[in-house]
Amino acid sequence: IENSQDCRSLGDVIRNSNFLFHSNYAIKALVEKLVELKPRMGSRDISGLLNVLSKSRVPKSSKSVHDKLMSTLAELSLDKFHLFQARDISMMLNALARRNIDNQKVFNMAGDSAVEILDEFNPLDIAQMMNAFARMEHWHEAVFEHVAQTAIPILPGFSAQGIANTANAFAKSGQKHPDLFDEIAQTSISMIHNFNAQGLANTVNAFAKMEHNHTKLFDAVAEAALPLIDTFKPQELAITVNAFAKVGHVHPQLFEAVGKAAVPILGSFTTQNLANTVQAFSKNEHEDGALFHAVANIAIARLKEFNAQDVANTLNAFANAGHYHPALFEKTAEAAIPMMNTFNTQELANTAMSYAKVQHHHPDLFDQLAKASIKSMDQFNPHDVSNLATAYSLMGYAQPVLMDQMAKVSLPILKEFTNYQLAETALAYSAMADIHHSHFLLVAIDDEMERRFGPMNKS
């Protein structure tokens, strides 16, 4: 380190020193050398040093020092961005994102500078920069807007990974650019066999997040995935089928292959991936008894790891798919009761509805669902009210306080109910008319139906 005459030679030392950050003496020498070289640092010096530092081996004891060093080094760019080239900007941001170093000033100014010279960015620069913005959740609107236009004519020059990362960045930002996604789809199809499992999964996941169902792309991804299915990791299997289910794209061969690949490795799935996988099969109405049976057994053994969303989604998937597993529903109820205060309104309503659909009686669970629902009643929406009222009606559980509270919260938002939700809510309250005091809700629903359909057609 002390013999380094410039940033390039110092970078070589850092690159070749696997244990630099294990030594306080070496760290001190590095800091002193960076201070010495600071006046002579150019844009490529800063981005290059950040790049090699981001790839260093750093023990936990030195992480804070390493992160501070990188952040401080990055801030040297703030008064030099007018000298930065495209490669410098993408390399620097990618280095910071690799180490999860969130320096808002640097990202904002880098984004401003990138917009000014975006026509100088090549496909790799764009893909790396967009991946960095997405990883750090910096949604620089001008960058995304300009990249959406600039990237289209040069998409054929992107690598498969670059395309997947760019699509994923836009999906995470929530900024919709249909023309860009159409071009990404066409380019991806033309080079689909260059994608690995991760790229295939991430690409369809991005399209699903954007609710952009490009039929030809999804078909191409499915066909490319089939011979690679044994290389998919658990998360990639879950993400892929979840994306297909989210956009309603049916591909039986893919789901059959995923089911067969998933069963032997279900123990490696996270609880979220277990829930998302069976939910995807349920949404796509793909029958796979072996998968559901295996997931049920794994879930029972790992219920302590499940959070409220995992519980609600898993039960919902089994109920909607018609896979009734008594032990799963019984054990899940026991696990859910102590964590009921962590359920949001949708999870409360969906859990109740799942038990009602399979007619699995558990009075203690429904008592706790009622108590938790009453506490958060002001957050209920039409979907929650309709599902929860229907569930208690189907199960025949008398909860007059709950029913009255739901009626009161429903009155001001009746116009937001769909026709189906109005009908289901009316049926539930009619069936339980002897245990609640909310007949005013039935009258209000009747008036709302008459407003929508007229007196002759409201039934």
From the CB of residue 153, how many other CB atoms can be counted at a distance below 10 Å? 9
pLDDT for the residue 458: 55
Token output for 142:
């001008």
Measured CA to CA, the distance from residue 196 to residue 43 in angstroms comes to 34
The rounded distance, in Å, linking the Cα atoms of 53 and 66 is 8
Nearest to 35 by CA among 87, 72, 81: 72
**C-alpha span between 229 and 302 (Å, rounded):** 26
For 289-398, where are the alpha helices, taking DSSP H only? 289-301, 308-321, 326-336, 345-358, 363-375, 382-395
In Å, how far from its chain's centre is CA 98? Answer: 19
Q: Which residues touch 304 (CB under 8 Å, ≥6 apart)?
A: 335
For residues 118 and 152, give the distance between their C-alpha atoms in angstroms, rounded to a whole number.
Answer: 13
Residues 218, 294: Cα–Cα separation, whole Å: 27
Other CB atoms closer than 10 Å to residue 382's CB: what's the count? 19
- Tokens representing 112 are 């401003």
Q: Which residues are within 8 A (CB) of 54 and not within 5 positions of it... i.e. 6 or more apart?
A: 70, 94, 95, 96, 98, 99
Residue among 134, 39, 123 at smallest CA distance from 96: 134
- Annotate 70-101 with DSSP letters as a single string: HHHHHHTTTTTGGG--HHHHHHHHHHHHHTT-
Model-level pTM?
Answer: 0.88
Q: What contacts 364, CB < 8 A, 6 or more positions away?
A: 333, 337
pLDDT at residue 435, rounded to an integer: 75
First to last CA, the chain: 84
Report d(CA 45, CA 91) in Å as an integer: 11
Mean pLDDT split into 10-residue runs, the chain, 459 residues: 93 90 92 93 94 94 93 92 94 96 94 96 96 94 95 96 96 92 97 97 96 95 97 98 96 97 97 97 95 98 97 97 97 97 97 98 97 96 97 93 94 95 94 82 92 74
pLDDT, position 405 = 94
Q: Which of 320, 349, 259, 343 is nearest to 295 (CA)?
A: 259
Residue-level pLDDT at 455: 78
Q: Phi, psi at residue 64, to the nearest 5°?
A: -65, -40
Give dist(CA 293, CA 104) in Å, integer: 47
Report the C-alpha dihedral over residues 176, 178, 184, 188, rounded to 10 degrees: 110
